[in-house]
Amino acid sequence: MDLQLFQYLQTYLTDRRKALFAEVLAKRTRHFTVVTEDVYQLHNTSAVMRTCDVFGIQDLHVVEEKFGKRVDKEIAMGAQKWVSLHRYDTISECMGKLRADGYQLIATTPHNDSQVLHEFDVSKKSAFFFGKESDGLSARVMKEADGYLKIPMYGFTESLNISVSAAIILQHVVTKMKQTSVNWALSEKERFEIKLQWMLKTIKSSEEIIARYKEEKNS
């Protein structure tokens, strides 16, 4: 998309919306990302997406290897406008993409010799994997993960709902990250691309507006 069209679309935004976009984008990060693997309870995927938005995580990766592409109907509460959703047919495809993008793969689990949350090194670019409500992450993830992370618990219950776990972990690592000198912010190019997507999703009849703009430009 050319810059002129981008600027043209901005005329359909209020000053308040422009300022809000700029404020939120300044706090967004891709230093951390989140993966859900075959989460059967779809409202949990929706809740995780909202959690990503709340804590400034731009990308959510959803693996639908076992249950198929069922997530669309349940992604709700408006967060789908603001968080970039990436979908995969297999866990191998997802892990390969994230490794290629420079992420270390962190399996969240109360088992194994997991590192406790407050000891986690936030300086490393990390993808946090969350598994099925019943039996957690797959053997493939547990075998190939670069590290394991757990939330300290002191009661009889040894696991938390996936959306609660994601909220606790993201709140901690994002807060700690922003207290460091890590370059966690989005690049100017990323901000441009994300803002464009936000505009296309929020401006009413954006496709018709773009078509009209192109007709006027070519006339």
- CATH of the domain spanning 29-184: 3.40.1280.10
206 pLDDT more than 90: no
Sign of the four-CA dihedral 25, 29, 162, 154: negative
6 pLDDT more than 90: no
Judged by average pLDDT, the poorest of 35-44, 87-96, 159-168 is 35-44
What is the reported pLDDT for 112? 66
Residue-wise pLDDT tens digits, 122-144: 999 999 999 876 678 999 999 99
Query: What is the pTM assigned to this prediction?
Result: 0.90
* Half-sphere CA count of 134, side-chain side, radius 13 A: 3
Per-residue exposure over 129-144, b if at least 16 CB sit within 10 Å of its own CB, e if not: bbbbeeebbbeebbee
CATH 3.40.1280.10 residue ranges of the chain are 29-184
Mean pLDDT of 59-86: 73
CA atoms of 148 and 142, how far apart (whole Å) = 8
